[in-house]
Chain A
Amino acid sequence: MITASDRGTQFAEALHGAQGEIAWFDSWDDIWDFAASLSDDTPVVSPAAHQFLQRGDLPDADDPLRSIADRPVGVTVAALGIAETGSLLLIERAPIDRAVSLLTRHLVIAVGQDDLLDELADGFRWLAQQPRAAAYATFVTGPSRTADIERSLTIGVQGPSRLTAAVLT
């Protein structure tokens, strides 16, 4: 039987392997404080994260991507995490849901400790039962990267260059 804490450890290891970071928090307030401490700029938050945090800048509804492009810190929420791969599943139906995870520099993704599943297969089982979620769902595994120039791994290309999983215990 895999316990919740084993799963957390496995998740952390896998995420580190994908150049992501992890931090543990007791409350949404702590997550906000953490995000706010990362830069002088106010964090931008996705509509989903805003429901919990009740603060931070929201993307502009008319032009969501342009409005927050390249802002230093963004916060969003994952539906679940996968211990096997260190992935976080983002359900982002509309561009406004996606803006923060697409274009901020340091992305903080909150996930409930109880929402960590063992394997990617569990994640896909979940997805198969949520037709609405599958409208636009992304397993994000670490910050964006490329090795297209002479195979040299470079972190941070067109998406975030840092990614922190904020696990809510």
Chain B
Amino acid sequence: MIEVSNIYKSFTLKDKRTLKIKTIAAVQDISFSVLPGEIYGLLGPNGAGKSTTLRMIATLMSPEKGSIKVSGLSTTQHPNEVRAKLGFLATDMDVYERFTPREQLKIFGEFQGMDPESAEKRGLQLLDNLGILDFANVKMDGFSSGQRQKFNIARALLHDPQVIIFDEPTTGLDVLTAKTVLDLLINLKTQGKTIILSTHILPMVEKICSKVGIIYQGKLQTEGSPKQVMERFNSNSLDEVFFTLADSKEPKGGQ
């Protein structure tokens, strides 16, 4: 389970022209929790703070204020133990081009404390599920972005993590593969995994998410099951909720 309580994170940016330093409040006072057997969808426009939130849960950054617990462990006090339970995927992750998927899965299996043989076995199973088993022994420098994304999904799920954090998992995937990934996620959900994902594909959210949270300018605007959220905004779809939310905010754009 994931418990996020009142977290804050800001970044300082330097304007190269004016040399002025400005602070961006990327995440402001966000709280939510995800239970085992739930898929939590984090939504919001570009630059809303979704990735920043997910990175903090994955111990890649620490919140300035507030706390995050994964399976009862604090991300700041026990980052290594937390990561052992995590499967993390982000859009800015790439693959080691000089290795083949098989080699790479073995290496990552060892990193995750698995023995190389079972890592290889499970890895190949995942590659098969994702439809890239034929490329298991091919050096990855020629892989397409979709194939890379599929491999990264396999890598993230290799050690059968209890908690799954997927930042835009269907980016670059065709409809068929996206469907495979969704089925995979639903399957994981029924296995009782705790899953949080961010996405811009709202119909998908309506289909698979038990709960959604909409972030806008670093703040959590609304939260609930997709149905509850739509009812709250008198809308028929999450798209409409987005438009309503955007109108209610001053037209400043992303931040």
Decide if A and B are genuine partners: no
